[in-house]
Amino acid sequence: MKNLLVCGGAGFIGSNFVRYMLKKYPDIHVVVYDKLTYAGNRDNLESVSQDERYKFLQGDIAEHGPVARALEFNRIDTVVNFAAETHVDRSILDPDAFIHTNTMGVYVLLEESRKYGVERFLQVSTDEVYGSIPQGAFREGDPLEPNSPYAASKASGDLMARAYHVTYGMNTVVTRGSNTFGPYQYPEKVLPLFITNALEDQPLPLYGDGKQVRDWLYVDDHCAGIDAVLRHGQPGEAYNVGGENERHNIDVVYMLLELLGKPQSLIRPVEDRPGHDRRYALDNTKTRQLGWKPEVSFEEALKCTVEWYKSNEWWWRKIKSGEYQQYYKAQYGQRLKDIS
């Protein structure tokens, strides 16, 4: 692993992963390839912008020519693909971009990587491909039953990576991560949305009864899990990367408000997300066998995350003043009116 292409490296987990890899591997060269959609942000990579081992390229993973040139020109041996449309609510409002990037895009990236002769390809997938589980935890061999357009488009990319191994003998691996949080997460996802809303004394729109369960994973642990699978995972295999930290949404919101010193009266129960998955849970045994485990406690990680958003208003205020306003109105305008 000398020349690494990180697709989607200007997003939340991708940018944390770039920092993680540059810090851990002194001899590595990292090229970020990112379309810079609404979620991509060069501010996320500011801290590495002067590192000579790092380079940024703007491009779409669904376009053959630019992908082929990025691989060839930079003599890429390893690809890690974070690039995706990632927000479930946006996939319900308009699935188009999700099919373009998460389905077509992954195919194009695999195909160009195969033609060029990339040595290792890791597709970053999600626990949402399994669907919802009332009890127990999903293992990698379980059937995929995605429930949202986002999850279905991700399942397609996940399975395409497997197919490229079986059909063409390509060296692919897949990670299926659980709900990730930490610095630089776009404030449409529940934790940064609720933290930044609470900081502005705005309502926190909680879907349904708030008793849905998510398995929370700190972003550094997610990056370490991806690195472990990249180095030690068996070709053609998928690996669960879960936080082993299941919480009801409402309990996480109470913890946040406590950390922020804000009142529970900010919580607004609103109309639920259609097709809302009730519970996610992953069995990590297979990834633990590669020498990885989640290291950071939820309490500690949540505290650091809250502190980061408090100290980096410049970062999220810029985002919240742009395209975000239109999205917020479409997603929450009626919901918040209905209950006021």
Q: For binding to ligand DAU (CB under 6 A), which residues are involved?
A: 86-89, 126-128, 178-179, 189-190, 193, 205-207, 212, 214, 249, 273, 280
- The entry of ligand NAD, ligand DAU, none near residue 21 (CB within 5 to 8 angstroms by kind) is none
Using the contact rule CB under 6 A, the part of the chain among 2-10, 166-174, 195-203, 231-239 near ligand NAD is: 2-10
Name the residue nearer to ligand DAU (CB basis): 20 or 82. Answer: 82
User: Cβ closer to ligand NAD: 158 or 262?
Assistant: 158
And the tokens for 157? 């990319």
Helix (H, G, I), strand (E, B) or coil at 16: helix
Kindly tell me the sign of the dihedral angle through the C-alpha atoms of 30, 33, 38, 42: positive
| Catalytic annotation present for 150 | yes
Contact positions with ligand NAD (CB under 6 A) in 38-97: 39-40, 60-62, 82-86
Helix (DSSP H) and strand (DSSP E) numbers for the chain: 13, 13
- Give 96's Cβ-side CA count (13 Å radius): 1
Q: Nearest to ligand NAD by Cβ — which residue? A: 11
d(CA 76, CA 4): 6
| Nearest distance, CB of residue 116 and ligand DAU, angstroms | 28
Place of tokens 């292409």: 5
Residue 137 and residue 282 in contact, taking contact as beta carbons nearer than 8 Å: yes
Active site residue 221: no
- Candidates 19, 29, 35, 90; binder of ligand NAD (CB under 6 A) is 35
**Backbone phi and psi for residue 104, each to the nearest 5 degrees, phi listed first:** -60, -45
Q: Which is nearer to ligand DAU, 128 or 221 (CB)?
A: 128
| Ordered DSSP codes for 152-163 | HHHHHHHHHHHH
Query: By CB under 6 A, is residue 309 in contact with ligand NAD?
Result: no
**12 forms part of the interface with ligand NAD (CB under 6 A):** yes
Q: What is the closest distance, in whole angstroms, from the C-beta atom of residue 98 to ligand DAU in the complex?
A: 11
88 binds, among ligand NAD, ligand DAU, none (CB under 5 to 8 A by kind): ligand DAU
Angle (CA) 244-138-146 rounded to 5° is 115
**Buried/exposed 215-238: b ≥16 CB within 10 Å, e otherwise:** bbbbbbbbbbbbbbbbeebeebeb
Please report, as ranges, the residues that interact with ligand NAD according to CB under 6 A.
7-8, 10-14, 34-37, 39-40, 60-62, 82-86, 101, 105, 124, 126, 154, 177, 179-180, 186
